[in-house]
Amino acid sequence: MDNIVFLILRRMRRPLLTLVLVYAVSILGLVLIPGQDAQGQPWHMDFFHAFYFVSFMSTTIGFGEIPYEFTDAQRAWVTVCIYLSVVAWIYAIGTILTLLQDKTFQHAIKERRFAQRIRNMGEAFYILCGYGETGRELALALTERGQHVVVIDLNEDKINLLRLQNLRDYVPALHANARTPRHLLEAGLQHPRCAGIVALTNNNDVNLKIAITAKLLNPDVTVICRADSHAVEANMASFGTDYIIDPFDTFAKYLSTALQTPGLYLLQSWLTARPGTRLADPVYPPTHGHWIIGGYGRFGKAVFKRLKKEDISIAVMEATPEKTGEPRQGVVRGVGTEEETLLEADIQQAVGIVAGTDNDANNLSIVMTARAMTNRLFVIARQNYRENDTLFQAVHADMVMHPSAIVAEKIRVLLATPMLYEFMSLAAYQEEDWACALISRIAGLVDHRVPVIQEFILGDSRHCAVEEALEHGRVVCLGDIMRDPGNRERSLNCIALLRISRNSRELLPGENTELLPGDKLLFCGTRHAFSTMEWILCHGPTLEYVLTGEDKPRSWIWRKLVQRSKK
């Protein structure tokens, strides 16, 4: 609001002063120039009448001469005043029209409307700073789950693109620099319904500034930041940033899991992928033999470090080691798109290759050249831009590393299903057989599609039926709420993954587990199963049926009829 007033005053200062000057001179002239009254006696107009006359003269020319007919001198002066006031008004109106078309003024108006809309929000929301590939995927995923988001981005084209996207929920968006605290406040950083802020820009310094601003102005809000520098990560961690996501380290960790426990990696892929998409095939990266890494930037270093921990032989290809640095063993100088470089890296003996430069064309070329030389390679390709999806699908890499997709997927899990993040952390300590058994159960639930992940909190007021039953001391087991109310002998198509009860955590709780008020439950299954389960938890008679098998009459009339029939 202050900006708008300031802009109006700054732009309208000269037109307003011109109008005031024209009015003042016109009034003064009418006061000084003598007229005549009805008896022909000299008469001077006072300031009030002069102001009154000039006021309507400027807007309604031809209204009349008051209180007496003017003398020739007065009419001559009024003629001059009319032209002066017309020019002054044209100047003022032209300035107003110019102001209305001014981008700065329009941005100030939009900013004010945006801030007003955020102040009126009544449901929990997340602030997304940055609307690149990661921001778009995250906004889409969250709005599909019915969660609200607010977007800030420095690029106006991206904000306009957001308005054209067919998102399920309206997303307020502001074209502004998120590193400015004022814009974060306008986006609702201190709003009581603000659930978290996500810094997704491609600039580490901006993400760092957002994290600092959030922790200083609202320490209780959850802060999630993207960072691809270990120094920036350490800086963010030093003041309590809740989650810091490095896409390169994250993928390297995935690769390590796939090397050690392929079943657990497959389980993670299935549970964290977007529901409804096709289930991923298992991958088995070779754990013995020679690997080649193309590119020794941030991604190459992260993969090199993980492969070294597995005691795997590695050759690194790097065109500019003086910029990126090089491992102790040295590098093969070159990008890897030429046969000579690949031969020097011992491609004939290689079992795996990582095309990990920051250039998609080079990565595709590395893969195609390497496959032309040997066809028994496990291929990992880095995809930097979403627009190249078709090309990377055509190259049929065994694993594709897309930084934006990795960050979006991890943040989506954190914000949409935080219990799944905890489940995967606990599952990492399980054996391979445990993961394979769970994979088999999930495969039996869904038809080659990624299952839906759903959380239930029994203390939630929405689940009034089960809450009331537990408060009255009734025993409700996990298997009871997983019964099909159409036939209680059958179970719904879902699996209980995790139960959190009074700070204790139980993986894959059994059907006989007795539920307690406040329990948090994590399931995977079908949408139909969860809509049915929601009905069981909320509807007393349905819960009663799955608990006892009795379908009690629900209305007064039916109860009377049943009682009479029993007599």
In this structure, which CATH number among 3.30.920.30, 3.90.1150.10, 3.30.70.1450, 2.40.160.10 belongs to the domain 451-548? 3.30.70.1450
**What does the pLDDT read at residue 553?**
66
Preceding amide of 67 cis, omega within 30: yes
Please check whether residue 264 is in contact with residue 257, taking contact to mean a CB–CB distance below 8 angstroms.
yes
pLDDT in tens, 238-262: 988 999 999 999 999 999 999 999 9
pLDDT at position 420 is: 93
DSSP 305: H
Residues in the chain where the model's pLDDT stays below 70:
1-3, 60-63, 460, 552-555, 559, 562, 565-567
In 10 A of CB 230, how many CB atoms?
Answer: 13
Sheet holding 194-199, edge to edge: 173-175, 148-153, 125-129, 194-199, 222-226, 243-245
Query: Rounded to whole angstroms, how far apart are CA atoms 450 and 270?
Result: 6
Q: Which CATH superfamily is domain 286-397 in?
A: NAD(P)-binding Rossmann-like Domain (3.40.50.720)
Give the pair of three-digit tokens for residue 370. Answer: 């390497």
Residue 315, helix vs strand vs coil: strand
Tell me whether strands 378-382 and 173-175 are parallel, antiparallel or unpaired: unpaired
What pLDDT sits at residue 2?
A: 62
Question: How many residues comprise the chain?
Answer: 567
User: Is-same-fold flag (123-245; 451-548)?
Assistant: no
Strand pairing report for 222-226 and 243-245: parallel
Residue 291, φ and ψ in degrees, nearest 5: -115, 155
Domain boundaries, the chain: 2-101, 123-245, 286-397, 451-548
CATH T-level assignment (fold) for domain 2-101:
Helix Hairpins (1.10.287)
Q: Look at residue 1 in the predicted model and tell me its pLDDT.
A: 56
**pLDDT tens digits, 411-439:** 988 888 889 989 999 999 999 999 999 99
Cα gap 546→475, rounded to integer Å: 12
Architecture of domain 123-245: 3-Layer(aba) Sandwich (3.40)
Q: Whole-structure pTM over 0.85, yes or no?
A: no
Q: Is 448 left (phi over 0), alpha (psi -120 to 50) or beta?
A: left
